[in-house]
Chains A and B, each alone.
Chain A
Amino acid sequence: MSTQPKPFDSTRQAALLLLPTVVVLVAFLYYPGLETFRLSLYKTLFLGQQTTWAGLGNFAELATSTAYRHSFLVTILFAVVVVAGTLAASLAVSYMLFTVDVGSSTYLVAAIWPYALPPAVAAILLNFLLHPNLGIFTHYLEAFTPFTLDWFNDGPQAFAVVAIVAIWKQLGYNIIFLVAALNNVPETLTESAKLDGVGHLRLLSKVYLPLIAPTMVFLVVMNTIYSFFSTFPLVDLMTSGGPGDATNFLIFKLYRDAFEFSSLGLASAESVVLFVLVAVLMYVQIRVTEGYAHYGA
């Protein structure tokens, strides 16, 4: 930060400049955010017509509900699969991008385009291409492997298909950050390893990965939040939470409880759970990043 006096000193003007942002944040973020906490303490009856005080009743209901606990578990499992799959695939692509020096900018654009891909489009493309009867991917998968694709009826298969689409859509975002991180590694640190003829896998795991760890942590957090929230269109358009409850993730259950069953109090309690998850993740990220900043600087 600069130490010299700032050019303007009218507090009134500054307040006016901040006003639009603050008004929007208060009206559409803080107010509904706090209101979520208040509503989570009420039960809604008669399709939202009447509310009664419930204390922590909604949270108790969530904690004892088999359906909610199942939803929580598949959401965490989904996050683990999506985060690991996304990072592994985008690390491989990013490392190759980082290594080639001819045409790397063309490659980069060709590799990051899924960043622009709308999740709804990703869902509908694979609904068709992986369709059990009509999908061309299904056709060749079944022709060349012993698999039979039946993800409209098979829970684990549906989970896997949604995860693959989620990973595909998230590759672009991850590659953007990983390529930038790899390019920031000082060449002096890696030259000696290269001269020693260390193989690519060892070079990546022993030399580069530790150096880009802060970016990896950042991406773990962002991908986890992505897997919690941005996969709603995938579930909605591909599986509707099924078959069974195999893909009934927290965000989809929340949507249904709120807007199909009008259990607004219960749904608000589900929102509070999501808030806690996001808060913990952000906290972890800040702590780890700070740790690295102190260590590195």
Chain B
Amino acid sequence: MATETNQQTARSTRFRDRLPDHVPMHLGLLAAIALMSAPLVLAVVMSTQTTTEVYQVTNVGIGSQGLRNYAAALTEYNFATYMLNSLVMSVVVVVGKVALSLLAALALVYYELPYERAIFMFILLTLLLPVPVRIVPLFQLMADLGWTNTLLALTGPYVASATAVFLFRQHFMSIPDSLVETARVDGVGPLRFLFGVLVPMSRGMIAGVCVITFIYAWNQFLWPLIAVTDKSSQVVQVGIRYIQGSAQAGLTQWGLIMAAAVLTLLPPLFVLLALHRPLLETFAIQQK
């Protein structure tokens, strides 16, 4: 008996020695990723189920609703409108923020500018003012401007950004002087310099800022909840709040709610998967 156990341990040690060190790491990673993704996978499966099927708790088969829950969410529960509103808001914020921040960074890096340091600090200090710190006056301001329930209220407060100006400034400063010198000798104007020289050299950085901004804007919840009360102008995150409330007549239609949740997740997830490389590079620079 004893010898047999010894042999077994010896064999298993030898097996472990032969096993590359990273096999347990692969298994650990697969387990971690499975755990992180399980809620999403289950949500997708259950978004195809009828309410009766959902109430059979351990039923994890594809349901008999097919894509009908998605169709119902988009039409009867207005998610087509919410998604479109979210898309318009996010695209306006992305374009506005990138454009404004490129112009500001151009001025900060390539102009002989008095008080350059102070102006940069003035921009950076706004990092201390996230929405919750100014939410009451901002809400009142929107009411005073007559912007409540409009795209202006959803996008205006987001189109300028300390982070984007900081990132573009860092990137411009890393562009070799020789290129700038050539541009100066050629006597190109500032806007041609921006679009002809800087933007082509900053494609990765601009793509990264676009991804970060798109995901950030798309995922906003608190501000749209306050600034928009009219359902037809509302964004999809608050739409989630509505559908959770309205799908509860009688038995809660969780299949329908899961379909709505999956729809809400798809655009930012798609953007992340498509553009993860520039996103990672941009974050790497932000950290330095």
Contacts and interface: CB of A to CB of B under 8 A. Distances in A.
Contacts of A201: none
Given A121-B265, A171-B36, A25 B160 contact: yes
Given A117-B269, A139-B57, 12 more contacts: A8-B112, A22-B123, A24-B160, A32-B129, A112-B272, A118-B237, A118-B264, A120-B221, A125-B39, A125-B40, A237-B244, A274-B133
A139 B265 contact: no
Given A28-B138, A31-B137, A115-B215, A7 B184 contact: yes
A116 B287 contact: no
Contacts of A60: none
B272 A113 contact: yes
Contact of A13 (B37, B111, B160, B261): B111
A57 interface: no
A30 B159 CA distance: 14
Nearest to B265: A121
Residue among A111, A125, A225, A264 having the largest count of chain B Cβ atoms under 10 Å: A125
What 9 A-B pairs have minimum CB-CB distances, sorted nearest first?
Answer: A24-B160, A35-B137, A32-B134, A32-B137, A17-B107, A14-B111, A116-B268, A116-B272, A28-B157
8 contacts: A6-B112, A11-B113, A27-B141, A29-B129, A97-B29, A112-B272, A124-B240, A268-B136
Given A116-B265, A254-B135, A24 B156 contact: yes
B28 interface: yes
A287 to B, nearest CB: 15
Given A96-B32, A134-B54, A275 B258 contact: no
B137 A21 contact: no
Contact of B276 (A100, A112, A259): A112
B219 interface: yes
Given A124-B257, A125-B40, A113 B269 contact: yes
A119 B193 CA distance: 40
Contacts of A126: 39
A259 B135 CA distance: 10
Tell me the interface secondary structure of chain B in the complex. helix
Interface of B: 21-22, 25-26, 28-29, 32-33, 36-37, 39-40, 42-43, 46, 54-55, 57-58, 60, 100-101, 103-104, 106-114, 119, 122-123, 126-141, 156-157, 159-160, 165, 173, 177, 180-181, 183-184, 190, 193, 215, 218-219, 221-222, 225-226, 237-238, 240-241, 244, 252, 254, 257-258, 261, 264-265, 268-269, 271-273, 276, 279-280, 283-284, 287
A152 interface: no
Interface in A1-19: 1-2, 4-11, 13-15, 17-18
Interface of A: 1-2, 4-11, 13-15, 17-18, 20-22, 24-25, 27-33, 35-36, 39, 92-93, 96-97, 99-103, 107-121, 124-129, 131, 134-136, 139, 168, 171, 176-177, 180-181, 215, 218, 225, 228-229, 232-233, 236-237, 251, 254-255, 258-259, 264, 267-268, 271-272, 274-275, 278-279, 282
Contact of B222 (A2, A102, A111, A233): A233
A259 B215 CA distance: 26
Contacts of B173: 1-2
Contacts of B219: 118-120
A263 B265 CA distance: 35
A120 B36 contact: no
A6 B264 CA distance: 46
Interface hub of A4, A18, A254, A271 (most chain B Cβ within 10 A): A18
Contact of B287 (A39, A125, A218, A275): A218
Given A25-B123, A128-B258, A258-B135, A20 B237 contact: no
A113 to B, nearest CB: 6
Nearest to B238: A120
B215 A128 contact: no
B264 A116 contact: no
